[in-house]
A and B are shown apart, each in its own frame.
Chain A
Amino acid sequence: MTILLEVQGLSKNFGGLQVSSDISMSLKAGDRCALIGPNGAGKTTFVNLVTGVLPPTAGAIRLDGRDVTKLSAADRVRRGLIRSFQVARLFKSMTVREHMELAVLQRDRRTFRLFASVAKTAGLADEVAECLGLMGLGAAAETPVGSLAYGQQRLLEIALALAMRPKVLILDEPAAGVPHSESQRILDAIDRLPKDLAVLMIEHDMDLVSRFASSIVVLAQGKLLCSGATRDVMADPRVREVYLGSRANAH
């Protein structure tokens, strides 16, 4: 299987604080990998480094065989590296429908059409309806995102990422803030994506992780603690200690 994402020796310091240290990992086509670790382990920072939102202090990132370490976030997106945000990051005054339209138009590079009509763009309305239906957002299509329930904002966030036709998809805690009854929607929607893309999901909910992931990577204090097949990692005593243990204590 081809390696789609390869991260080598990725490090990040904020001043004196080392938030990521020497992380290496890779994702192959078809991988369904979970990235877990306690709060503050540096998971979101890792995503920001990989997607180009933050510049790394050291290390290299290869996407589909090409070095993208120096590319901007937008360039990486155009090459198929798509992420969703842990905290929904949306355009408050736009409606749900407008978000989907923008994502699809941007993906197809049709946003420099100055005199075309969004409403009359061929195929757009159907695709938007399908994406929203998949996430159960159809009835909220005309609601401005600013007045949308938070759980629905999260689902929209994921719908946007899925619509971008990713090669590598990184979901930062997609189910956080989504009611339990709705989290299956997210897994269903991922199941409908082409099988050959790689998905990395950050998630605290172990039930969701075991349903989704075939492999797990564990981060603790900015370092790669261990990685491997889901069952092995979940049984690893070190993981139970730093991660499962600490969370069990916290609750």
Chain B
Amino acid sequence: MSATMTDGLSKGTTGPMTRDTTALAAPRRDFGWLAAPITGALGLAAFWLFPEDLGLMTRIAATALYVLSLDLVLGYCGIATLGHAAMFGTGAYAAGIAAVHLVNDPLVLLLIGGAAGGVMALVTGGLILHARGLTLLMLTIAVTQIVQEVANKARDWTGGSDGLSGVDPAPLLGLFRFDMFGRTSYLFAVAVLVVGMVAARRIVRSPFGLACRGVKEDPLRISALGGSPRAYLVTMYAVAGIFAGVAGALTAVSSGIVGLDSVSFSWSAEALVMLVLGGTGRLYGAVIGTVAFMTVHHILAATDPFHWMLFIGLFLMGIVLFLPGGIASGGERLRALLARKGEGDQA
């Protein structure tokens, strides 16, 4: 026993008593920063390749931002939630109501949506994040139900079950009109998604992001370092609320309508499905999962209107069974496999 430990210890160190401050191992390569530019480039390519599908692709881009915000909460803090639509819907309604009554500058509407989503997350997160596990899951569902019921009852503002329509944004930056083909909407949505990916990556790599990863693994150990796990959780919940609120506002601005389904339980659950499908804790997994799910959904629904639900189910089961870490983990596995093979060839 002690012999193996001595082996482990002396591995890489020059001797038991040397103070080898210089021999710090080189940092691992991290290609995660490529995700945002690749998303932007593929988004532009799709603009020319599929001009007929701009409406669908706009929804995908806005949804990807929404699922990305869920990854901040689930993937980086370990908060299991089935109530993320509360923040998305609050942002969508706030932007929609503001557009009808107050302003119609699209960027200002996104700011309003983000602020509303962030405040909603801050308030509800402060109330419920002392709970964990199943209790927390129930509370997140309850919050969504309450928000949906409020939206349903406040007909004068939200249009109730008819939905809120008449969102008519002014030209973007005063230059680009939202045309009837949805070109401006689509490019706007992709740009917001890319900015969101860059911002989210910055946050998860910040000192704050590091602390959140610690809370996810062992909140008590964070206390032993002098940190307050709850403060980190509530802050990240609020930050994710801002992202979700912007995604909601983006959907409202680009589609012109906001419905009760944007604050529904099923919209929360769908975000979770897309995130798990793509892979949690990587940010780009959220984008991959959203694109995969919504594309497959669209194709199946168009080709086989009667059985598409069945095929979606089979597709999800296949991924979860054969790639438990999500689609994004497939690439990593392949790389690990190739690396092992490379080592084998050398030996």
Contacts and interface: CB of A to CB of B under 8 A. Distances in A.
Interface of A: 51, 53, 72-74, 77-78, 83, 85, 89-95, 97-98, 101-103, 105-107, 110-119, 121, 129-130, 132-134, 136, 138-143, 148-152, 155, 160, 164, 177-182, 184-185
A96 to B, nearest CB: 9
Given A95-B28, A178-B5, 5 more contacts: A103-B225, A107-B225, A119-B27, A164-B225, A180-B2
Interface stretch (B13-21, B82-90, B151-159, B265-273): B13-21
B166 interface: no
A139 B211 CA distance: 24
Interface of B: 2, 4-9, 11-13, 16-28, 202-203, 205-211, 213-214, 217-218, 220-228, 232, 235, 239
Contact of B9 (A85, A179, A184): A179
A211 to B, nearest CB: 15
A142 B26 contact: yes
A111 B211 contact: yes
A90 B209 CA distance: 17
B336 to A, nearest CB: 13
Given A101-B210, A112-B208, A139-B20, A90 B13 contact: no
B207 A98 contact: no
Given A90-B221, A91-B213, A111 B5 contact: no
Given A72-B223, A139-B20, A149-B8, A111 B217 contact: no
A182 B25 contact: no
A185 B227 CA distance: 28
Given A106-B211, A118-B206, A121-B207, A152 B20 contact: no
Contacts of B226: 74, 77-78, 106-107, 164
A102 B20 contact: no
Contacts of B222: 74, 106
B25 A141 contact: yes
Nearest to B13: A136
